[in-house]
Chains A and B, each alone.
Chain A
Amino acid sequence: MRKSSKEAVLLLLAIPILLWTLLPIYHIFLFSISSKDSAFSGTLWPDKPTLRNFGTIAYQEHFYLHNFWVQIWNSLWIAVAAGVITLVIASCAAFAISRLKVRGGRAVMNLALFTYFIPAAFLAIPMYKAMGAYGLLNSRWSLVLAMVTLAAPYAIWVLKQASDKLPFELDEAARIDGATPPQLFRLVYLPLMAPSLVAIGTYALLLAWNEYLYAYLLLSHERTITLAVALGHFIAADDSPWELLMATGLVFALPPAAIYYAFRRYMVAGLTSGAVKA
């Protein structure tokens, strides 16, 4: 009896919070299925719902959408590259620090984490200068490298915590069985770390996918920018096509949602697994 009444209270709290969270998303959805004229009608459901906005996006039939497919491809390319490179760097680093116990490894990890004391926004200008010096401005690689820089410290830390939980006897057994460190890494360590790797890869991928500030600074050409930056351009004009902005925004949100849904099991397990030292 008491348990169910407690649950009822929690439910009563949860429903308004859920509605509050979903309201903006519903708004986006509402805009995206409205025609330009009825977008601001204020009704809870448009009189004549339409999918035309999505057609406009797909066929790039608007000034702001002329490079839609190139831009979404840029976003995808950069996000996947950032995810993969972060994974490679972080898994190697975590393996070296946690399993091979390389001297000074922990110090390096702590130094990397220390960079989080400086807000990423402050680092944007130095990063811009650095990329300029390397001649990478307006190249996808500039954003990939910047995102890897931002994601790697956290990724290393989470993977290191997760690696610490693998029994050390496994490494010893493999060493006696004749495994060299690279073989140990490839044949024993990586397969056992798979859940954490999925979580961290997804984390870095989504970080890069959603990035706006760095993308805006480092990429400036119509055909090199990411979709996130392109969305920003919509509001630069006096008469912004809100219904198209919202429709594009909805499309932009779909890949992360799909990825999160596909890997949700790993996300929860992986991101919390490193949090507490058991």
Chain B
Amino acid sequence: MAAVSFHAVKKAFGKTRVLHGISLDIADGEFMVLVGPSGCGKSTLLRMLAGLEDITAGSIAIDGRVVNDVESKDRDIAMVFQSYALYPHMTVRDNMGFSLKLRKENRKRIDEGVARAAQILNLQPFLERHPRELSGGQRQRVAMGRAIVRDPKVFLFDEPLSNLDAKLRVAMRAEIKALHQRLKTTTVYVTHDQVEAMTMADRIAVMNDGRIEQLGEPLELYDRPANLFVAQFIGSPAMNVFDGLLRASHGKTWVQGLGTQWPAAAVPAGSDGRKVKYGIRPEHLELSGSGVAAEVLVVEPMGAETEFLVRVQDQTFTLVTHGRAGNGPGDRIYLVPQARHAHLFDAASGDRL
């Protein structure tokens, strides 16, 4: 186990700059998720940590040792690829034992290592099979097994669940999480799926356009997004956001927008008249007998809760309520935003007020 630290790491492919100085410290035993839209540089950052990409500038350290010029195989890391990258011509046993074989471990040690990993992942019945004879979930577990066998300082996961169907993805998510709780190995996990990030991470680094937008614990990012990007990226369904004018007078704070008043929590003095973006999560809009008038567009009953797509002027909102809906498309309903859960962002910079 080991801590990992990135210091002012930059990456450029020719003239294209992909990462603009990433600094990030990952604690020993931590489960760190790098999340962001495709092209944000998260995979590149992981591959640099793995030693598969050169580091253009800055430094990466594993367990206190700068590894910029250290070969992948000497970094004591193991990586699980999106495509699994299992060796097709080898059995599960040989796939998992390959790294030990290359290290010239003796047969007995290899067998022990493979047996231990197979037992952790319930792969014992499949050891003599080839990857093509396995289902997607089993291949995924073999890929993890190959990583476990090495007993590395750091686990790297590059979108490992993207190739699985929805049900299996949820199951494997829990399995990886349980594995981490058992082995407590420092883990860096890359995904574009914010649900994976929220459910698995100790801490999340939200990345966009080669920069870290915000670093924090999942609920911290959810409750206090540092900017508009994080606010809209984290959370499903996404936060509702629209333009407005911030007003504060007589101890009352609200945002004037969409032809009505939207309550907000107190803001620093002198903010009156500022152009802002008003953000409110779907579950923080309540249905009521009075409030902001809206027209129902779509009702999506999901059993435990109901999702509404509604319209206020030309702005659509999503809202989630518990229980069943008594409304249908075309109905007029009234929304009451919970003021203490409203998010305010500067209209120009997108930063949280």
Partner-B contacts on A (CB < 8 A): 167, 169-170, 172-179, 183, 187-188, 191-192
25 A-B pairs (CB sep. < 8 Å): A167-B83, A169-B83, A169-B85, A170-B85, A170-B87, A172-B72, A172-B81, A173-B81, A173-B86, A174-B98, A175-B71, A175-B73, A176-B50, A176-B51, A176-B73, A176-B79, A177-B98, A177-B99, A177-B102, A178-B99, A178-B103, A179-B102, A187-B98, A191-B89, A192-B89
Residues of B within 8 A of A170 (CB): 85, 87
- Check if B77 is an interface residue, CB within 8 A of chain A: yes
Cα(A224)–Cα(B336), bound, Å? 99
Check if B52 sits within 8 Å of A172, measured CB to CB. Answer: yes
| Inter-chain contact B78/A176, CB cutoff 8 Å | yes
Contact B102 A173 (CB under 8 A): no
CA gap between A173 and B50 in the complex, in Å: 10
Nearest residue (CB) in B for A179 is B102
Whether the Cβ atoms of B85 and A192 lie closer than 8 Å is: no
Q: B73 contacts A179, CB within 8 Å?
A: yes
- The answer on a CB contact under 8 Å between A173 and B79 is yes
User: Please, which residues of chain A bring their CB within 8 A of the CB of B103?
Assistant: 178
Contact yes or no, B52 A175, CB < 8 A: yes
- In the complex, chain B residues whose CB is within 8 Å of the CB of A173: 79, 81, 85-87, 146
Q: Which residues of B sit under 8 angstroms from A176, Cβ to Cβ?
A: 50-52, 72-73, 77-79, 99
User: Which residues of B does A touch, CB under 8 Å?
Assistant: 50-52, 71-73, 77-79, 81-83, 85-89, 98-99, 102-103, 146, 150
Number of A-B contacts (CB under 8 A): 54
**Per a CB cutoff under 8 Å, which of A172, A178, A187 touches B85?**
A172
Are A169 and B81 CB-contacts (below 8 A) given A178-B99, A179-B73? Answer: yes
The reply to whether B88 and A192 contact each other, CB–CB distance below 8 Å, is yes
B81 in contact with A188 (CB, 8 Å): no
- Once A172-B52, A172-B81 are accepted as A-B contacts, the answer to whether A177 and B89 lie under 8 Å apart by CB is no
Q: Please determine whether B81 and A178 come into contact, CB atoms closer than 8 angstroms.
A: no
Residues of B within 8 A of A177 (CB): 73, 98-99, 102, 146, 150
Q: Please classify the interface of chain A as helix (H, G, I), strand (E, B), loop, or mixed, using the class held by over half of its residues.
A: helix
Name B87's contact: one of A172, A178, A183, A188 (CB within 8 Å): A188
Smallest Cβ distance from A197 to chain B, in angstroms? Answer: 13
Query: Which A residues are in CB contact (< 8 Å) with B150?
Result: 177
Closest to A169 in B: B85
Q: CA separation between A58 and B51, bound complex, in Å?
A: 63
Query: 3 closest pairs, A vs B, by CB?
Result: A169-B85, A178-B73, A177-B99
**What residues of chain A lie closer than 8 Å to B87, measured between beta carbons?**
170, 173-174, 188
16 other A-B residue contacts (CB within 8 Å) besides A169-B81, A176-B73: A169-B82, A170-B85, A172-B72, A172-B81, A173-B86, A173-B146, A174-B87, A175-B52, A175-B71, A175-B72, A176-B79, A177-B73, A177-B146, A179-B102, A183-B102, A192-B88
Whole-angstrom distance between the alpha carbons of A234 and B85 in the complex?
58
Chain B residues with CB under 8 A of A167: 83, 85
Smallest beta-carbon distance B164→chain A, Å: 17
Which of B82, B85, B146 has its CB near the most chain A CB atoms (within 10 A)? B85
Distance between A186 CB and nearest chain B CB, rounded to angstroms? 11
Chain B residues, Cβ within 8 Å of A172: 50, 52, 72, 79, 81, 85
Q: Which residues of A contact B102 (CB under 8 A)?
A: 177-179, 183
In the bound complex, residues from chain B placing their C-beta under 8 Å from that of A179 are 73, 102
B50, B52, B71: residue with the most chain A Cβ atoms closer than 10 Å:
B52
Contacts of B72 in A (CB 8 A): 172, 175-176
For the complex, what is the distance from the CA of A173 to the CA of B47, rounded to whole Å?
11
Instruction: Give A192's nearest chain B residue, CB to CB.
Output: B89
CA distance A170 to B82 in the complex (A): 11
Bound form: Cα–Cα A223–B87 in Å: 49
User: Please, which residue of chain B has its CB at the minimum distance from the CB of A184?
Assistant: B102
Q: List the B residue with the shortest CB-CB distance to A190.
A: B89
Chain B residues whose CB sits within 8 angstroms of the CB of A187 once the complex forms: 98
How far in angstroms is the closest Cβ of chain B from A114? 28
Query: CA–CA, A137 to B337, complex, Å?
Result: 95
A94 to B: closest C-beta gap in Å: 18
A173 to B79, CA, bound (A): 7
Query: In the assembled complex, how far is the CB of residue A40 from the closest CB belonging to chain B, in whole angstroms?
Result: 56
| B80 to chain A: closest residue by CB | A173
